[in-house]
Amino acid sequence: MSLSNKVDFAVVFRVKNANPNGDPLNGNRPRTTYEGYGEVSDVCIKRKIRNRLMEEGENIFVQSDDNKLDNYTSLKARADGTLKEIKDKDEIVKKACEVWFDVRAFGQVMAYKGKNKGTGVSIPIRGPVSIHSAFSVEPVNVSSIQITKSVSGEGEGTKKGSDTMGMKHRVDSAVYICYGSMSPQLSTKTGFSDEDAAIIKKILPRLFENDASSARPDGSMEVLNVVWWKHNSKNGQVSSAKVHRSMHVEIKSDGTVVLQFDDLDKLSPEVIDGY
């Protein structure tokens, strides 16, 4: 099985009084570019996609510690539980793609011990689904407030008590866009199918549901629209770059978001409302 047609897609979402993706190297402030535009990493977006896929009952290889559906304590343990007895590299790739949705979609690097001692290598699996980092339509305003930690993070015998002060950061209000694409050529290597593409299409409108935290309270992150371009061939009618540039997002003075599209060789976008 493989993907029949090339697909491009976009997710337009709003952030209001939330930290969509903190930067651990910058005090966990929301990620921003040098020009002041908000950014959400592709890794963060993929994590949310994986979580929604797990809710659909799909097997996922890269699970987070706070949201696991099995008892494995590491990726190695999870891989060994399924692949340990397989000695052939091609069979490892085939089995991994069959078992785990995210492997056949996004790819993965699998460890291979080799048939003889000292012959182990890493097996790269290149997935057909690529996800871009999300960027805000306009520069963002980041607000920071001082908070009191509920417990001391220091060890016993220190002078710091439970009233230790900390900082919390948020994006006041912004609209972000994340682009992605699906390659039929690469899907032939992993077995990513039209049915798999339909599942991703189904879960994208509710990307942030069941994802609440103190940094992202319920309702503070909302998918406004998912835009889906299905080409009429495996190679596509136009490049992904032209498809992504064809969408223009305008934010009205009242906060309303308007999508406009350029004509692209009979390639019409399907606009899906958020959940």
How many angstroms separate the CA atoms of 212 and 26, rounded? 22
Phi-psi region of 265 (alpha: psi -120 to 50; beta: other; left: phi over 0): left
Q: If DSSP states are collapsed to H, E and C, what string results for 14-28?
A: EEEEECCCEEHHHCC
Q: What is the pLDDT of residue 150?
A: 64
Q: Cα dist. 96→51, 83, 100, 108, 125 in Å?
A: 19, 8, 6, 9, 9
Q: What is the pLDDT of residue 172?
A: 96
User: Which residues does the chain have with pLDDT short of 50?
Assistant: none
Phi, psi for residue 195 in degrees, rounded to 5: -65, -40
For residue 32, what are the β-bridge partners? 38
Quick one: which of 9, 44, 5 has its CA closest to 24? 44
How many angstroms separate the CA atoms of 76 and 252, rounded? 49
pLDDT tens digit sequence for 74-88:
998 999 899 888 888
Q: Are 173 and 14 in contact (CB under 8 A)?
A: yes
Please provide the average confidence, as pLDDT, over all residues in the chain.
Answer: 92
Residue partners of 131: CB distance under 8 A and separation at least 6: 42, 45, 46, 49, 106, 178, 180
Q: Cα dist. 176→10, 130, 135, 154, 257 in Å?
A: 10, 18, 5, 37, 11
Give the predicted TM-score (pTM) of the model: 0.91
